[in-house]
Amino acid sequence: MYFHRTFGYLERSRLKSDCNDIVGGNKSCFGFIEIKFIYSNSFYSDWLKELVSFNNGFRCPLPKEALGYMGMPPYQYPDQWENAGFNTAGVGMSATESIFSSKKALAAAPLVSNGLGEISITSVVLPYIHSAKEGVERLGVLIEKYGIAEGFGVGFIDQKEIWYLETASGHRWIASRIPSNVYFVTANQARLREYDPKDNHHFLGSEDLIEFAITHKLYDPNKGIFDFHKAYIRDEKLDTTYNYPRVWALQALFSPEIENDVTKNNFPVFVQGENRISLADVLQVSKDLLDGLFTRLTLDVQAEYRFAGA
């Protein structure tokens, strides 16, 4: 099952409940933005030959054959930045989690000002894929060809599996197949760590992801196995109040037996919940996340913490 909400924190989860998988995200903004529901049929998509982003000049020719799909762009904008949706092949995606590479990673492979950004992802991917894995593969090709204008995380779901992709730097990326019977939450900071380029059943990524990290001294193989997060992702003081608390709080809500330290980024990537998670449970944490954080933190530190938002 797929859901998407427009305000609040961001989370992605996968846990079997009544034979349904769940992928979802919340989005926050400064000010009120209405979301509209649109449907683009295959005839319209077939007619559209090129996508041109209205905000940064990104241009991308589109395949000749397309599927119908729905999206949810902001009402005030042209029909781009569609956030999330499903296509007529039953594939869903959520495409607007902002994440940030480290300064060292970006120095080695900078962002591209007119590269692929969140505003265009759904439009250039969702009408042209027939499975979650195919969505990862198409998006990965676009990242490598055009570069990215900003860092992002994207979730894909079909009837059989869920995949999650995170950008590494200007032209590189990683993706992981979410295991069965676990949940995965993320909050504006890349969370994937393990990567085995020989295991394409569970992992996908840029061909030179590890070699590039070694060459540019982002990763030293003499110090242990490759950790994507440590190699490519920003982890600074800002993250301790901006991102850590939301991951900590969600895992505390779904798995109260876990004794995480909110000040340390050693949260498990995938967690098996105390109970099976339902759609109602996920919707409930939209409220509980905010209430729980406020009650657990003293007033003098509440202003430093971000409680909600993508």
SS3 readout for the chain = CEEECCCCECCCCCCCECCECCEEECCCCCCCCCECCEEECHHHHHHCCEEECCCCCCEEECCCCCCCEEECCECCCCCCCCCEEEECCCCEEEEEEECCECHHHHHHCCCCCCCECHHHHHHHHHHHCCCHHHHHHHHHHHHHHHCECCCEEEEEECCCCEEEEEEEECCEEEEEECCCCCECCCCCCCCCCCCCCCCCCCEEECCCHHHHHHHCCCCCHHHCCCCHHHHHECCCHHHHHHCHHHHHHHHHHHCCCCCCCCCCCCCCCCECCCCCCCHHHHHHHHHHHHHHHHHHCCHHHHCCCCCCEC
Model confidence pLDDT, tens digit, residues 44-66: 656 688 999 988 999 999 998 99
Q: Rounded to whole angstroms, what are the CA distances from 137 to 30, 205, 278?
A: 33, 9, 29
Q: Is residue 38 part of a domain?
A: yes
Give the pLDDT confidence score for residue 26 in this predicted structure. Answer: 67
Give the pLDDT confidence score for residue 193 in this predicted structure. Answer: 98
Q: Give the tokens for residue 91.
A: 């594939």
Give the pLDDT confidence score for residue 96 in this predicted structure. Answer: 79
Could you give the number of structural domains in the chain? Answer: 1
106-145 burial, b if ≥16 CB within 10 A, otherwise e?
A: bebbebbeebbbbbbbbbbbbbbbebbbbbbbbbbebbbe
Q: Is residue 307 part of a domain?
A: no
Give the pLDDT confidence score for residue 172 in this predicted structure. Answer: 98
| Boundaries of domain holding 286 | 2-302
| pTM above threshold 0.85 | yes
Give the pLDDT confidence score for residue 222 in this predicted structure. Answer: 97
Q: Is residue 206 part of a domain?
A: yes
Q: pLDDT 10s per residue in the chain (310 long)?
A: 223 332 223 334 444 445 467 777 766 554 555 677 777 876 565 668 899 998 899 999 999 899 999 988 877 777 788 888 999 999 999 987 899 999 999 999 999 999 999 999 999 999 999 999 999 999 999 999 999 999 999 999 999 999 999 999 999 999 999 998 888 988 889 999 999 999 999 999 999 999 999 999 999 999 999 999 999 999 999 999 888 888 888 888 888 888 899 899 999 999 987 777 777 887 777 766 656 554 555 444 444 555 544 3
Q: Is residue 124 part of a domain?
A: yes
Give the pLDDT confidence score for residue 180 in this predicted structure. Answer: 86
Q: Is residue 310 part of a domain?
A: no
Model confidence pLDDT, tens digit, residues 188-237: 899 999 999 999 999 999 999 999 999 999 999 999 999 999 999 999 99
Give the pLDDT confidence score for residue 309 in this predicted structure. Answer: 46
Give the pLDDT confidence score for residue 217 in this predicted structure. Answer: 98
Q: Is residue 90 part of a domain?
A: yes
Give the pLDDT confidence score for residue 281 in this predicted structure. Answer: 81
Give the pLDDT confidence score for residue 75 in this predicted structure. Answer: 74
